[in-house]
Structure 1
Amino acid sequence: MTDTLSIALAQLSSRVGDIAGNLARARQARAEAARLGAELVLFPELFLVGYPPEDLVLKPALQEACRVAIHELAQETGDGGPAVLIGTPWREAGKLHNAVALLEEGRIATLRFKVDLPNYGVFDEKRVFTPGPMPGPISFKGVRIGVPICEDIWGGDIVECLSETGAELLLVPNGSPFRRTVRDERTHTVVARIAESGLPIAYLNRVGGQDELVFDGASFGLNADYGLAFQLPAFVETVALTRWQRTSAGWACVEGGKTSLPDGHAQTYSAAMAGLRDYVEANRFPGVVLGLSGGIDSALVAALAADALGPSRVRCVMLPYRYTAQISLDDAKLCANRLGCPYEIIPIAPAVEGFLAALGPALAGTSPDITEENLQSRARGTILMALSNKFGGMVVTTGNKSEMSVGYATLYGDMNGGFNPIKDIYKTEVYELARWRNAHVPAGALGPDGEVIPLNIIERAPSAELRENQTDQDSLPPYEVLDAILHGLVEEERPIADIVAQGFDIATVKRIEHLLNIAEYKRRQAAPGVKISTRNFGRDRRYPISHGFRDPGIPVNPSDDTNVLFQPRINAVDV
């Protein structure tokens, strides 16, 4: 039995399905842990296969590859170096489990299986895994260590079981995605488990993006007296050493670094930047291409892309038409120049006029309307996709959450593309993030400092510029009003009556709810984007496209023209 332990925490990213690559990362991390003097190195949840693996983990060939890799890594621990606690899928007695394996002295010493499989929000683990039995602690160097896996600490039963069966400290491997409120939620959960068990907890989380999810790391430990034992950085890979000691009151972490974490706009920007970077890199794109319109959304996305990938990998294209103002041309060029991104102008008039000529006989006798406006957007989308096809850069879309909510976007036009880093960010916060970025360079950013987004872009009234003197507020309420209503409808799922009680006009609220409902079919066809909020479109909020329910508000009256349930199903803001 020992009275001290040196434990390395491998706060790393792993790529879903890349078993060989993840095994190589585990070997590198173990070598670094050995250099630091660690006796044990802990990896995040399902590190070997990546998280979340979704239905990919059901493939027998992948399961076997993981098994072979675990045996290889286990054999390597016979070299006298650190033991390994690593997450992996594991099939036992015909059942597939979310497991953690202890590898030491050249063998698989023991396995523990996740008990509480989350099946809400972004999680679908019950779809692919079988819950394990209630666990006891594992023995390492005579120390009884509890290893609850992620969701296993969000309720009290599993930690209670570990405490009652003799656990002396808890090491928790996690795959916990970022959302704005999650850090406080993690801390409160860990504090609750310490209060119930009296045991110190080390909470290890992975980092990096995986499709729509981004993992922030921000791993931490609390001693049994609730004091902060260590705090690892956010959105940064690291292998960090912690030292633990047996005291008269039990085990305590007596050495570990403490890093300050970004908050507010800094963490939102970092999450969007990391999600975009890892999506591009994981899918092996040489860079990105985007339409830089001179507006706030595309300017912010250009800044995010330059910070994530480096300016030289961000191709900015201005696609003007007759309604494009000179100030938009000037602002777009200035923004690209300040960011240091390649910039070019491709006029879309020949494409639009060609479409109009081709459609002339079919549209004869009709008046120009949103149809002709959308041709502009679709011409732009086609040109950007052509550049992507020819040169390999992924098209980045630039629609914010306000627009995605109410369908203020054009299918096969400005919605074209592979990824959208601001998809889960409301318009009002887009402005705030732009101002923040002008005053700060986020950690890890590859773009320049200073005012990279021209102030004129931030201060101008937003416009799609699809007709003369158009502004967004021609079709939508002011964004401050729109975003507040949407937050109630989307994040909080509040009834219309509750939102109206806050002082919002009932006709406006009903109209926004109507637009939110009928835009579902668009959102199903939208590019994936980074999850930032507690309820993003896609993985969190899963609504049917075709359904007949509408919140009647107060009261239901078929003759009331504010009751949009009885109005025609139209796409009034499809631009």
Structure 2
Amino acid sequence: MKILRIAMAQMNPTVGDLNGNVRQILSWVREARKAKVDLVTFPELAITGCPPEDLLLKPWFVSENTRALQEIIPACHGLVAIVGYVGQDLKRNPRSSNSGAGGSVLYNAAALIADRRLLGNYHQRSLVNHGVFDDSRYFQPGQRLSLLRVRGVVIGVTLCEDLECSKGVIRRLAAVGAEIIVNISASPFHRGKSRTREQLLAARARENGVIVTYTNMVGGQDELVFDGNSVILDSAGGVLARGGAFQEELVVADVGVDAVPSGRRTQRRKTRVAETIGADLDRYSVKMPAIEKMRPPIGSTVTEPIEDLEEIYRALVLAVKDYVRKNGFARVAIGLSGGVDSALTAVVAVDALGADRVRGVFLPSPYTSQESEADVSELVGRLGIDLSVISITPTFESYCRSLAPTFGDRQVDATEENLQARIRGTLLMAVSNKFGDLVLTTGNKSELSVGYATLYGDMAGGFAVIKDVPKTMVYALARFRNGLGSSPVIPKRTLDRPPSAELRPDQKDEDSLPPYSVLDLILQAYVEEDRSPDEIIKSGFDRATVDRVVTMVDRSEFKRHQAPIGVKITPRALGKDRRMPITNGFRGL
């Protein structure tokens, strides 16, 4: 059996911070050398961070990315490294609609480095053009396959979406002799994705009789959060090594490669002529230093997958931590209302940043209940955060007096409710301006979907922590977090009381909305699954309720276009995932 020691670097780069990302890569290379590995792999676009988006249209950015690669090559002494970056063909291609910086052709590339020498590059063949990614806006698809021979083991190199097609790149690499398929990726998190992704990897390993190594990025980048969960699977789809979720680490494993299974030999004879004759194939044979006699075998780490709610909660925490850190904020401010949304947001912020970097602001109005005031006080005490109390009553009364001559004898309605929310938003932003705090908004996906939120009011802020978290999941996450540690942090009454905006006497959310248990299921079908109103009704929902919810969603698009970005945790978030026009005459009712 041939043994190859492989390391996968789950790193957390920052988009655009080329120097900082290079320092990280060099640090991981040093760790890999200490572990005496043969091969170390880094995530897709590790040098630039992911996704670099329209930075790729700046010629000097792409050039600096190439310069950064040159800093890494000399450090790769005695090992092979596969590093994600942006490849560039300086020959102008006037026929290309997706030419990058300066009209040159760009590729999503993997640099193949061996013992301080750049062997070549692999360019991603299957571009990603769904969800939050627009690869075809920036990159051309690659045309060549890449094989490396390291210590007698044949390795095929792939990038991200190359894994998706069951009859594509992996099959062809296996047909020309690949025994290990290396994939480097930057796959963003959403609920359940790590499990389906690993199932896909296992299927590719079994179908092609190959070992698969998958290196994924970690960290928050605007609305995305990358979960890691890098994995090595044997040719039967069994897990040989697995990295942790939402944490940086170097995952190291000794991978044994048996002779090619007889089925693979037969397949190769049948498919070589049909699939690979004339194929563009780069072969590299790497001469490696002799293995030290004293290199003892190492045991592989197989980190167990985490449960659904913990996965979502940790995604929120890491996203907040990285957004604050990478954008240079010292502290955050949160408007606390006594409700579950602001409570969960505050707890996530404390877990991400520490209590000393979180400021609570309580903004009571004439309609704020004593229960809300008590729950805010209890929450703040349990979290150990600072609290500022600023009554909005004098300001609200002053505004009402100022508006009275204009409003005349018109009845009190949502105008006065929205006025309270906007006063709160103004005061929170004043705190932000004075102290430099980032305001974390507290609205959830259910509210934002149907427009149950006030522009320039409760929507005011810089980062929306639970923007993609439906209300029913807010409660589930709050109860999950309360189950950690020795005592709950969110007051029990906050979870038990009916939700209310407290903008008028005895107000309840269900005065304006269907019960959240119903609303969230309809929203999932309409917003995330793109099911028509008729399909939703046929699945068992009342027509009047469905029509009402769909109308609220469609009429609220203008609000969502003005909302701050927030963390994506569902398959389809209210951000880049869902790009609906504001002016829209189509109605599916």
Greater alpha carbon shift after TM alignment, 495-504 vs 281-290 = 495-504
Deviation of the 1:141 alpha carbon: 4.1
Q: Is residue 145 from structure 1 mapped to residue 155 from structure 2 by the alignment?
A: yes
Task: Kindly provide the amino acid, as one letter, of the partner of residue 102 in structure 1.
Answer: L
Contact 2:253/2:300 (8 A) holds in 1: yes
Deviation of the 1:265 alpha carbon: 0.9
Aligned to 1:218: 229
Deviation of the 1:249 alpha carbon: 4.5
Task: Kindly provide the amino acid, as one letter, of the partner of residue 331 in structure 1.
Answer: D
Aligned to 1:432: 476
Contact 1:245/1:254 (8 A) holds in 2: no
Q: Is residue 309 from structure 1 mapped to residue 353 from structure 2 by the alignment?
A: yes
Aligned to 1:538: 575
Contact 2:202/2:238 (8 A) holds in 1: no
Aligned to 1:566: none
What's the TM-score once normalised by structure 2's chain length?
0.89
Q: Distance in 2 between matches of 1:11 and 1:296?
A: 34
Aligned to 1:84: 81
Aligned to 2:276: none
- Structure 1 segment 496-515 matched on structure 2, within 5 A: 496-515=533-552
Q: Distance in 1 between matches of 2:298 and 2:141?
A: 34
What's the TM-score once normalised by structure 1's chain length?
0.92
Contact 1:148/1:173 (8 A) holds in 2: yes
Q: Is residue 56 from structure 1 mapped to residue 55 from structure 2 by the alignment?
A: yes
Q: Distance in 2 between matches of 1:353 and 1:165?
A: 78
Contact 2:468/2:566 (8 A) holds in 1: yes
Contact 1:439/1:451 (8 A) holds in 2: yes
Greater alpha carbon shift after TM alignment, 16-25 vs 130-139 = 130-139
Aligned to 1:34: 33
Contact 2:254/2:298 (8 A) holds in 1: yes
Per-residue CA deviation, residues 178-210 of structure 1 (Å, 9 max, x unaligned), is 011212321232122223321110111111011
SS at match of 1:201: strand
SS at match of 2:146: coil
* Match among 230, 245, 250 for residue 239 of structure 1: 250
Contact 1:110/1:138 (8 A) holds in 2: no
Aligned to 1:108: 118
Q: Distance in 2 between matches of 1:127 and 1:294?
A: 45
Q: Distance in 2 between matches of 1:134 and 1:189?
A: 23
* Match among 437, 442, 446 for residue 393 of structure 1: 437
Q: Distance in 2 between matches of 1:362 and 1:185?
A: 58
Q: Distance in 1 between matches of 2:472 and 2:116?
A: 56
* Match among 449, 461, 464 for residue 420 of structure 1: 464
Task: Kindly provide the amino acid, as one letter, of the partner of residue 288 in structure 1.
Answer: V
Aligned to 1:487: 524
Aligned to 1:4: 3
Greater alpha carbon shift after TM alignment, 518-527 vs 134-143 = 134-143
Aligned to 1:199: 210
Q: Distance in 1 between matches of 2:157 and 2:257?
A: 18
Per-residue CA deviation, residues 225-260 of structure 1 (Å, 9 max, x unaligned), is 22111111100100121112332357xx98421111
SS at match of 1:468: coil
Per-residue CA deviation, residues 244-299 of structure 1 (Å, 9 max, x unaligned), is 2332357xx98421111212211111111111111111111101101110001000
In the alignment of these two chains, the number of paired residues is 541
* Match among 142, 145, 151 for residue 135 of structure 1: 145
Per-residue CA deviation, residues 485-544 of structure 1 (Å, 9 max, x unaligned), is 111111221121222223321111100000000011001111111111111111111111
Q: Is residue 98 from structure 1 mapped to residue 108 from structure 2 by the alignment?
A: yes
Aligned to 2:98: none
Task: Kindly provide the amino acid, as one letter, of the partner of residue 529 in structure 1.
Answer: G
Q: Distance in 1 between matches of 2:443 and 2:377?
A: 20
SS at match of 1:17: coil
Deviation of the 1:142 alpha carbon: 4.2
Q: Distance in 2 between matches of 1:368 and 1:244?
A: 71
Q: Distance in 2 between matches of 1:76 and 1:335?
A: 50
Q: Distance in 2 between matches of 1:311 and 1:338?
A: 10
Q: Distance in 2 between matches of 1:68 and 1:145?
A: 27
Deviation of the 1:215 alpha carbon: 0.5
In angstroms, what is the RMSD of aligned CA positions?
1.6
Q: Distance in 1 between matches of 2:176 and 2:299?
A: 27
Aligned to 1:561: none
Aligned to 1:164: 175
Q: Distance in 2 between matches of 1:273 and 1:468?
A: 35
Q: Is residue 469 from structure 1 mapped to residue 480 from structure 2 by the alignment?
A: no
Q: Distance in 2 between matches of 1:248 and 1:148?
A: 22
Task: Kindly provide the amino acid, as one letter, of the partner of residue 86 in structure 2.
Answer: P
Aligned to 1:119: 129
Greater alpha carbon shift after TM alignment, 211-220 vs 90-99 = 90-99
Aligned to 1:19: 18
Q: Distance in 1 between matches of 2:136 and 2:259?
A: 41
SS at match of 1:528: coil
Task: Kindly provide the amino acid, as one letter, of the partner of residue 564 in structure 2.
Answer: A
Identity of aligned residues (%): 44
Q: Distance in 2 between matches of 1:264 and 1:174?
A: 22
Deviation of the 1:438 alpha carbon: 0.4
Aligned to 1:567: none
Aligned to 2:197: 186
Gapped runs of 5+ residues in structure 1? Answer: 442-448, 553-575
Q: Distance in 2 between matches of 1:199 and 1:134?
A: 20
Q: Distance in 2 between matches of 1:191 and 1:269?
A: 26
Per-residue CA deviation, residues 86-143 of structure 1 (Å, 9 max, x unaligned), is 0000102431000000122322111100010110111111111111014131233443
Deviation of the 1:69 alpha carbon: 1.1
SS at match of 2:505: coil
Task: Kindly provide the amino acid, as one letter, of the partner of residue 178 in structure 2.
Answer: A
SS at match of 2:348: helix
Contact 2:192/2:308 (8 A) holds in 1: no
- Structure 1 segment 58-73 matched on structure 2, within 5 A: 58-73=57-72
Gapped runs of 5+ residues in structure 2? Answer: 92-103, 262-296
Aligned to 1:446: none
Deviation of the 1:359 alpha carbon: 2.4
Aligned to 1:558: none
Task: Kindly provide the amino acid, as one letter, of the partner of residue 50 in structure 1.
Answer: G
SS at match of 2:400: helix
Contact 2:73/2:118 (8 A) holds in 1: yes
Greater alpha carbon shift after TM alignment, 95-104 vs 509-518 = 95-104
Q: Distance in 2 between matches of 1:144 and 1:255?
A: 23
Contact 1:230/1:255 (8 A) holds in 2: no
Aligned to 2:99: none
Q: Distance in 2 between matches of 1:341 and 1:460?
A: 23
